[in-house]
Structure 1
Amino acid sequence: MNDITQQEAHKIVEAAREAALSSETLMNVAVVDAGGNLKAFTRMDGAWLGSIDIAIKKARTARYFDMPTGDIGSISQPGGPLFNIEVSNGGLITFPGGIPLTKDGVTIGAIGVSGSTVENDHLVATAGAKAL
């Protein structure tokens, strides 16, 4: 099966939530399946409402292009080969916090995290991804 299971998605969300608690940040965490559809989500108590959409879009962006969102950001700057890509696909997020999820060399989904600095978002997303 080339798709993330509900059990895997919840394990990833929980690992990210634990990392957020450890770093004393309040996060929104989204996991999408292989098709970019929302599979699991949590909004920690007190996490920014505006970051709900950002977390989901980070996860979708990472899955649509099978690369971390921060990597997309580096090539979507003015003059870059993907300049303005963030306005495609109903809106993308091209700064850190979204990471593809792979199993046995196959991308089965992605995680997106938002609620703090992009550095913290990336660290929490990485912790979630490692739970897979």
Structure 2
Amino acid sequence: MRKMLFSWIVALSLVLFGGVSAFAGDVVKTLPGDITLAQAQKIVAAALKKAEEIKVPMNIAVVDAGGNLKAFVRQEDAFIGSIDISIKKAVTARYFNMTTRALGAVSQVGQPLYGIEASNNGLILFAGGVLLVDANNVIVGAIGVSGGSVDEDESVAKAGAAVIK
């Protein structure tokens, strides 16, 4: 009985951890319509350039089409509290396929999405989260920036997003 149980554990471990492929054929590394690491790095570089131009230290987060963190950078002297904000801005934009500024406008008291910020483990509803849309008009991710005023954050995010087109 112990040998049989051990054999099952070993076999399951091999399947789960790559010793034996459970699937035939090629493994897809990037989903269609998803951002690549190279693209994310170019977006971050463009956003960093804009942040340096306006002389405001920023936290810059890029998420993929599924809202998962793909790239992140924190400039020296950028607020530590803005790390989480930048990531949540990117995630919020991607989850709702609109800028965080636009979502914020429809989530005010008396508006149809009032209270939405309490969903999804917390959302950010002020400017600085922008969708990443490729040349084929496909959403491939989002960028979130935090560290300055909301207008400064958004200008840095837009500078990064412009690279993907």
In the superposition, the TM-score normalised over structure 2's length comes to 0.79
More strand per residue:
1
Which of 32, 48, 51 aligns to 2:79? It is 48
| 1:94 counterpart SS class | coil
Q: Report deviation, 1:22.
A: 0.1
Residue of structure 2 in register with 1:129 after alignment: 161
Q: How does 1:1-132 map to 2 (within 5 A)?
A: 1-103=32-134, 104-132=136-164
Q: Report deviation, 1:105.
A: 1.2
Q: Report deviation, 1:131.
A: 1.1
| 1:93 counterpart SS class | coil
| CA distance in 2 between partners of 1:34 and 1:116 (Å) | 26
| CA distance in 2 between partners of 1:5 and 1:118 (Å) | 27
| CA distance in 2 between partners of 1:82 and 1:14 (Å) | 34
Runs of 4+ residues over 3 Å off in structure 1 = none
Q: Say how many residue pairs are matched.
A: 132
| 2:44 counterpart SS class | helix
Aligned residue type for 2:152: N
In the superposition, the TM-score normalised over structure 1's length comes to 0.99
| CA distance in 2 between partners of 1:28 and 1:123 (Å) | 13
Aligned residue type for 1:6: L
Percentage of identical aligned residues: 56
| Pairwise CA RMSD | 0.5
| CA distance in 1 between partners of 2:48 and 2:118 (Å) | 29
Higher relative contact order (CA 8 A, sep 6+): 1
Q: Which structure 1 segments of 5+ residues have no match?
A: none
1:30-68 deviations in Å (ceiling 9; x for gaps): 000000000000000110000000000000000001100
Q: Which one has the largest radius of gyration?
A: 2
Q: Which structure 2 segments of 5+ residues have no match?
A: 1-31
| 2:85 counterpart SS class | helix
